[in-house]
Structure 1
């Protein structure tokens, strides 16, 4: 389970980690924080023994993504992602970049399928993409699997079918996790930790349900307990 460090600065993130005893827990670093702090942030987190999912969602021409991934590989994070909509060649080259880094550590390559803030209506009306979200997610997962990705970012609702189609070892990373009664915020395809377990999700990404809670540590432990034990 990755705790999303959705903060503007390293000082804010570190203060939150220290105040609630989150030292050493796996964390997700997104664009907001990484673009402010850069590789120095990753070094700081690694010194404190955090596993790191670097959530940059690269989406560019294949050569540019490959070169970026070569540099990212040298940061020795555990997972990094691209947008599956970048296509098969971009995904292949992203994997090549991760393999060609100077480090012996190869991060897992995860492809983002359809953002959990989107639904059938927004796919069709805004992007002119036919078919349901579920159909598009599975199609993109198959493309990612065939071209070297280790897994995908998807909602909990799609995780089981992706496993059925792509195999049990193909990773599913699921954001949009909410405890019962939590606000969905800007996420549309949300789910509880118990449903994530039921559908076979490999990794949860948990953010505002914990970071906005009155007692973040208690909320984090409740998510862990519900996920591990299937408590509803």
Structure 2
């Protein structure tokens, strides 16, 4: 992968999302389409962004019983995503069925712990221990289930890389040095995440809400 940056295109208007994709396509490696985009624009919206000519990452975070998740994976074959997310907390059987149902060309990666959460949030949901420990536990489970990799914050990616040497690691919640963190709690810079072993860097607002998105994307690309 020449450019590991995937731009999060979670915009409410399809025309605006496609215009932004066209504007920055020379400075990113692909586009991440999440629940907000998928619920608003469906298969048609995904096809429209795919026409820009870069890989598509469907960040759907599927989490249900194994049969339902497998069915959902089969229903998106026609979209030809390069990457799809599921939740590691759905358990090993769900992850195994998701991977078995995915297209051969699609990487299935498991979300371990959202970057909007910290250890206090974990404790409130009944999970004790550190964020790092929780991510490592779920990464081990995802590897055992035969997935391609996981989604984790930049704080954990170096540790996971040591444990899972040939894994594919997606790191969201990234912020260039000096930028506001917003609702993200566990952030690092794109360069730090890449140096620590990230395969894909998901970046949204620092590009999509910049006064000049093309310049912002180009500046981030230059740091890598």
TM-score normalized by structure 2?
A: 0.93
Give the Cα separation in 1 of the matches to 2:31 and 2:183.
Answer: 21
Q: Which moved more, 1:45-54 or 1:29-38?
A: 45-54
SS in structure 1 of the partner of residue 155 of structure 2: helix
Is there any run of 5+ residues in structure 1 with no aligned partner, and where? Answer: 100-104
In 1, are the aligned partners of 2:18 and 2:49 still within 8 Å (CA)?
A: no
Is there any run of 5+ residues in structure 2 with no aligned partner, and where? Answer: none
Match of 1:4 in 2: 8
In 1, are the aligned partners of 2:67 and 2:97 still within 8 Å (CA)?
A: yes
Shift of 1:197: 2.2
SS in structure 2 of the partner of residue 82 of structure 1: strand
Shift of 1:163: 0.9
Give the Cα separation in 1 of the matches to 2:120 and 2:86.
Answer: 24
Give the Cα separation in 2 of the matches to 1:80 and 1:182.
Answer: 28
SS in structure 2 of the partner of residue 11 of structure 1: helix
Matched, 1:77 2:74: no
Give a deviation string over 1:182-226, Cα, whole Å, max 9, x none.
Answer: 110000011111211221111100000111112211111111121
Give the Cα separation in 1 of the matches to 2:108 and 2:21.
Answer: 26
Give the Cα separation in 2 of the matches to 1:5 and 1:146.
Answer: 31
Match of 2:168 in 1: 171
Question: Once superposed, what is the RMSD of the aligned Cα atoms?
Answer: 1.4
SS in structure 1 of the partner of residue 222 of structure 2: helix
Shift of 1:21: 4.2
In 2, are the aligned partners of 1:173 and 1:203 still within 8 Å (CA)?
A: yes
TM-score normalized by structure 1?
A: 0.90
Q: Which has the higher contact order (CA 8 A, sep 6+)?
A: 2
Q: Which moved more, 1:21-30 or 1:50-59?
A: 21-30
Give the Cα separation in 2 of the matches to 1:165 and 1:22.
Answer: 33
SS in structure 2 of the partner of residue 15 of structure 1: helix
